[in-house]
Chain A
Amino acid sequence: MFGLDIPLPEFWIAYFSLFWLLVGATATPVIFRHRGYSRLLGILIGAVIGLVCAVLFVVLLAALKPLADLLDRPLLGTLLSMVISAAVILVLLVRARRLVPEARYDTAGTRPATGGPHTPVTYSARVDQVDPNRQAWQAIRASVVVMLAALTLTPVVWMSMTAFKSYPDAVASPPKVAFDPTMEGIITLLTRRRQMTDEQKAVYAQNEDLNWADRVMLKSGQAILGQSDYVKRLRNSLIIASTSTVLSVTLGLLSAYAFSRFRIPGKGDLLFFILSTRMLPPVVVTIPIFLMYRQLGLYDTHAGLILLYTAFNLSFSVWLLKGFIDEIPKEYEEAALVDGYTRLQAFIRIVMPEAMTGIAATTVFCFIFAWNEYAFALMLTADKARTAPPHIPSMIGTGLVEWAAIAAGSLFFLIPVVIVTFALRKYLLRGVTFGAIRQG
């Protein structure tokens, strides 16, 4: 990650220039629209203001550099330039609104009456009724959010780029933004290879049945021997994370339902006991569990890790789901019971759909935990059941670090989590369907 004190002025120049441009281009049109001008003119003027500020920022940065160097605080220059250019753009935006005369051809007074009883008033038609300052602030806030998101996503983007770089590009300094994409890193990640001498290479190249991956690797003089361990690790990760997620959500849902609906002796104590399994840092129990697993034959097995992750996630899923089920009025099931359904049917047809938000949220959290878990996986697996998290750092190994392969490994590792989260995204938005029961 870039820190503010890392002397990387180019990045900040690009970043903040973009930010001022964005602010100018989003906030100004609001003001101009309000004054009755076309949106395009606003965007244009906004872009100019943004550009002025971006230039100002760059100039200030250069001008303040001696001062910053003098005080030995590289951060100071950047900060000062930021503050000053921010002040200038805000003043410009507010001033601009005051200075802009009302357009004569399209003001509220002279505008032809397009409304009336037969034209429904839409929200967008009433945009002039909203305080322009408020809208401008909203635009600025949106720009900040966009830029922050961009900043957060930079490492991910950088990682994705590195995955497609060749070795020289990956280690180039200054870092290369424009490069020739290659599949080398990905192929390196997924295969085992053998380095060939020049004669071997010549013979190898004669082969008829070389596929595109073989040809890519031939350039660096390597012959593909077979699948690498990474594929196995990723498959293990997928099996273990998804099985343990399904198990902990299913078991959690059933026990949360029981805790929420039935009178269970010692309910509070039981719930606290379930929660207390979370209070111990996992690292503390790795050694005992390692010894136990070795005795039980669970060491380096899929079942072992699934069991452990399920047990670990269960406390979390019981508590989270209990909250969600508590919110479903019990009249829902009672209505279904009276209407001729059994309790199990009522549970499946009424409780589960109503608790879908909770189930989705729990699934995402459980999956992310099981997917990312490192310490137990490192201790309790060796080869057969080893998951991706302990494997990726081991790829660094000795000698030359295959950054492209590591980046590709991390990228592939990221994809399932993204898929799960996106697939359940719709349920993560709460409160859309709540409220059919009025809580008196």
Chain B
Amino acid sequence: MAEIQLLQVEKKFGEVHAVKPMDLTVHDGEFVVLLGPSGCGKTTTLRMISGLETTTSGTILLNGRDVTWAHPSERDIAFVFQFFALYSHMTARQNIAFPLQAQGESKETVNQRVAEVSRLLQIEHILDARPGALSGGDQQRVALARALVRRPAAFLMDEPLGALDADFRETMRAEIKRLHIDNQATTVYVTHDQIEAMAMGDRIVVMSAAAVQQVGTPTEIYHDPASLFVARFIGSPGMNLVTGRYHGGQVHLPDCGAYTVPPQWIAPLNTAFGDDGDVILGFRPEAAQVTPQGALSATVYASDLHGSYTMLHLELCDQTIVHVRSSRQSSHPIGTAVQFDLDPAMVRFFDPATEAAIVPEVRA
């Protein structure tokens, strides 16, 4: 298998940056997800790794070998396209065998490997059909089989589930995850779906505006977003962000009283702002609890039942809406005033000037 390293890799189209210089190491056997809104450069990055796009500057190493200017066929990687790119003039079997024929494998080897991989993906019964006659899921399986059959050093997948129906996506997501666990193949996976990214990735690379925003495990990305962008982008709804003023160990929300900063955050906040400065307080919906003793007050703006829990939309005094999870049983009619409190372990702080998160020294 393989380790992929990107060193200061950059892509410009004319004067426009498609990908600003980025560093990334994908370890052997790791499943790395490139996540970001469309146009953020994630697909371009993937195509540069595959060699389908040239780099403007920087170095790409595959197992320590410099492949920056190598032809795609010399890189020993497989690419799964969003729209599968199955050759319509060949049957599924010929499609799967196609990469092996490039290597000049003998007929027996080809047949055996095609049989193996189609058993693995359970597509033996459709091998003689043309792609046009297959369902989306079967087309996807054939595309995966074509990638797997060659046993490449690494897999690159460009939104492979994007073209499938929503409920079928779950099944295929599990299949791809399972394949990865069984084969331990280095995989780089591009998606704009943060749920997919959280579910599948060993590590997630969040990209936006051609630059890497944060690299981390799904837990890190979710709980410790490095910037306001990541905080907003991950989670549905994203992290609640409330602007306030930090002063004397408290965050003063305009007209809404003050939130007492948990003791472990006082030192970092003092370092960042001195004793007085604008700050953005961030918390996930599940970090808030509606209790009569809560320090923060708000009025109920709306509430939706999500089955297992109720999502309350609370309006603060400055008309910011925050989303708070509450238990299914509790009922809060619209317009009532409520108090809520935040779990001290789950609050985060951001600097509005730099948009970056305040990092406690223990972790820094």
Contacts and interface: CB of A to CB of B under 8 A. Distances in A.
A340 B72 CA distance: 7
B88 A435 contact: yes
B229 interface: no
B131 A339 contact: no
A274 B350 CA distance: 60
A350 B131 CA distance: 14
Given A338-B77, A339-B73, A434-B88, A440 B163 contact: yes
A437 B88 contact: yes
A438 interface: yes
B89 interface: yes
A436 interface: yes
Contacts of B79: 334-335, 338
Interface in A419-440: 433-440
Nearest to B47: A334
A62 to B, nearest CB: 59
Contact of B83 (A331, A341, A350): A331
Given A435-B132, A436-B139, A337 B72 contact: yes
Given A436-B131, A440-B162, A440-B163, A335 B83 contact: no
A433 B95 CA distance: 15
A332 B130 CA distance: 15
B85 A332 contact: yes
A356 B102 CA distance: 22
Given A338-B52, A338-B77, A437 B84 contact: yes
Contact of B52 (A332, A337, A341): A337
B89 A354 contact: yes
A334 B77 CA distance: 12
Interface residues on A, range: 20 to 34
A336 interface: yes
Contacts of A434: 88, 132
A335 B132 contact: no
Contacts of A433: 88-89, 130, 132
Between B51, B83, B146, B150, the greatest number of chain A beta carbons within 10 A of the residue's beta carbon is seen for: B83
A115 to B, nearest CB: 27
A314 B103 CA distance: 36
Contact of A354 (B82, B87, B102): B87
Interface in B97-153: 98-99, 102-103, 130-132, 136, 139, 146, 150
Contacts, number: 89
B71 interface: yes
A341 B89 contact: no
Contact of A340 (B81, B89, B99, B163): B99
A353 B99 CA distance: 17
A340 B83 contact: no
A336 B79 CA distance: 10
B130 A335 contact: no
Contacts of B82: 440
B85 A440 contact: no
A334 B99 contact: no
A360 to B, nearest CB: 13
B78 interface: yes
| 8 tightest Cβ-Cβ pairs between the two chains A and B | A340-B102, A436-B88, A339-B99, A436-B131, A331-B85, A338-B79, A337-B72, A340-B73
Interface of B: 50-52, 71-73, 75, 77-79, 81-89, 98-99, 102-103, 130-132, 136, 139, 146, 150, 156, 162-163
22 contacts: A331-B81, A331-B83, A332-B87, A334-B72, A335-B81, A337-B52, A338-B79, A339-B73, A339-B150, A340-B73, A340-B150, A353-B87, A356-B89, A433-B88, A433-B130, A433-B132, A437-B86, A437-B88, A438-B136, A438-B163, A440-B82, A440-B163
